[in-house]
């Protein structure tokens, strides 16, 4: 049996206000070995190459069926629904705005 994988929908980038690249579902493997520091160069590395794999799917069902077809143990992280607050730019300059 292989290492467990995580299927999730990535969150919004904190550096930008847009929601690009948050609609797809991602399948990533959990780290199988701890990272260690190379004594000569000081680089961190791991013998586990599955941690470099990141598969992107358009729907959750596609990701689940892929994991089941290939016998990959997985757990699904359900995303939280975000609330959209309708707000106008003019609201920043209202007279009765609360500070």
In 3-state terms, what secondary structure has residue 68?
Answer: helix
pLDDT at 99: 65
Q: How many CA atoms lie within 13 A of 84 on its CB side?
A: 5
pLDDT of 71: 93
Confidence at 48, pLDDT banded by 50, 70, 90: confident
Domains and CATH numbers, the chain: 1-11+24-29+49-79 (3.30.160.190)
* 8 in Cβ contact with 76 (< 8 Å): yes
Summarize the confidence of residues 6-13 as an average pLDDT.
Answer: 90
pLDDT at 2: 58
């Amino acid at each position: 049996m292989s290492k467990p994988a995580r299927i999730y929908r990535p969150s919004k980038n904190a550096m930008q206000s847009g929601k690009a690249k948050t609609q797809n579902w991602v399948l990533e493997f959990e780290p199988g070995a701890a990272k260690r520091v190379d004594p000569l160069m000081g680089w961190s590395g791991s013998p586990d190459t599955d941690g470099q794999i990141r598969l992107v799917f358009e729907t959750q069902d596609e990701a689940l069926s892929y994991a089941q077809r290939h016998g990959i143990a997985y757990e699904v992280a359900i995303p939280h629904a975000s609330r959209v607050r309708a707000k106008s730019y003019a609201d920043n300059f209202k007279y009765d705005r609360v500070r």
